[in-house]
């Protein structure tokens, strides 16, 4: 039976190995929050709603730190082992990159 989300843990680890030296840079402008939802605008017509995790990762994407450093910071800040933050980190970075809220 295939996994519903399409990517397996192994896929995320392989993607992390490919991406870990890249330096993600956030795009867009924070425009507000409401009930643990964070809003980032690319333009007046294009606004995205982010979860707290996605917003936190977006903030860490300063163009100065690598994906590996972002993973280490995330692991330390949420007190979770590095291996457990890789899958959600890569999933969020891919989603943010797909809508151009993060560039490399």
17 in any annotated domain:
yes
Q: Is residue 76 part of a domain?
A: yes
CB burial of residue 54 (10 Å; 0-12, 13-18, 19+) = buried
Q: Give how many domains the chain has, as a whole number.
A: 1
Condensed to tens digits (0 to 9), the pLDDT of residues 22-80 reads 999 999 999 999 999 999 999 999 999 999 999 999 999 999 999 999 999 999 999 99
Does some domain include residue 1? no
| Summary mean pLDDT of the chain | 93
SS3 content of the chain, % helix, strand, coil (to 5): 45, 20, 35
Q: Is residue 4 part of a domain?
A: no
Predicted pLDDT at 4? 44
Give the Å distances, CA to CA, from 46 to 1, 22, 43, 66, 97.
Answer: 38, 26, 5, 27, 15
What residue numbers bound the domain in which 44 lies? 9-103
CATH number at residue 91: 3.90.930
Q: Give the pLDDT band of residue 6 (cuts 50, 70, 90).
A: low
| Residue 42 maps to a domain | yes
The answer to whether residue 2 scores a pLDDT higher than 50 is no
Bridge partners of 38, per DSSP, are 33, 50
């Amino acid at each position: 039976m295939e996994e519903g989300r399409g990517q397996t843990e192994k896929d995320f680890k392989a993607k992390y190995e490919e991406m870990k030296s890249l330096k993600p840079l956030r795009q867009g402008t924070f425009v507000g929050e409401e009930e643990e939802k964070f809003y980032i605008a690319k333009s007046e017509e294009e606004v995205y709603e982010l979860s707290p995790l996605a917003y936190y990762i977006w903030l860490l994407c300063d163009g100065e730190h690598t994906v590996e450093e972002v993973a280490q910071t995330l692991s330390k800040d949420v007190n979770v082992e590095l291996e457990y933050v890789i899958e959600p980190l890569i999933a969020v970075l891919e989603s943010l990159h797909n809508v151009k809220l993060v560039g490399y």
